[in-house]
Amino acid sequence: MTSLNELTVAITGSGQGIGHAMAMRFAQQGANIVISDIDDDRATASAEAVRELGGKAISVRADVTDADDCTALVAATVAEFGRLDVMICNAGIIQVKPLLDVTADDWNRTMNVNVTGTLLTLQAAARQMLSQEPLSAGRPKGKIITMASIAGRYAAGPMAPIIPHYRASKAAVINLTHSASYTLAPDVTVNAICPGLVDNDMWKLIDREWSEVEGWETGTAWKTRTSAVPLGRPQTMDDVAGLAEFLASPASDYMTGQAINIDGGLTVG
In this structure, the number of other CB atoms found within 10 A of the CB of residue 2 comes to 10
Helix (H, G, I), strand (E, B) or coil at 44: helix
| Cβ–Cβ under 8 Å, residues 23 and 35 | yes
| Cβ–Cβ under 8 Å, residues 194 and 259 | yes
Q: How many residues does the chain have?
A: 269
Using CA of residue 53, residue 117, residue 153, residue 88, what is the dihedral sign? negative
Helix ranges (H only) for 65-116 are 67-81, 104-111
In this structure, the number of other CB atoms found within 10 A of the CB of residue 124 comes to 25
Q: How far apart are CA 52 and CA 57, in angstroms?
A: 10
Does the annotation count 254 as an active-site position? Answer: no
Q: Identify the active-site residue in 154, 166, 182, 254.
A: 166
What DSSP string describes 48-67?
A: HHHHHTT-EEEEEE--TT-H
Cα of 215 vs its chain's centroid, Å: 31
| Cβ–Cβ under 8 Å, residues 243 and 258 | no
Q: How far apart are CA 159 and CA 151, in angstroms?
A: 8
Of 175, 189, 198, 163, the closest CA to residue 115 belongs to 175
DSSP label at residue 257: S
**Active-site residue list:** 166
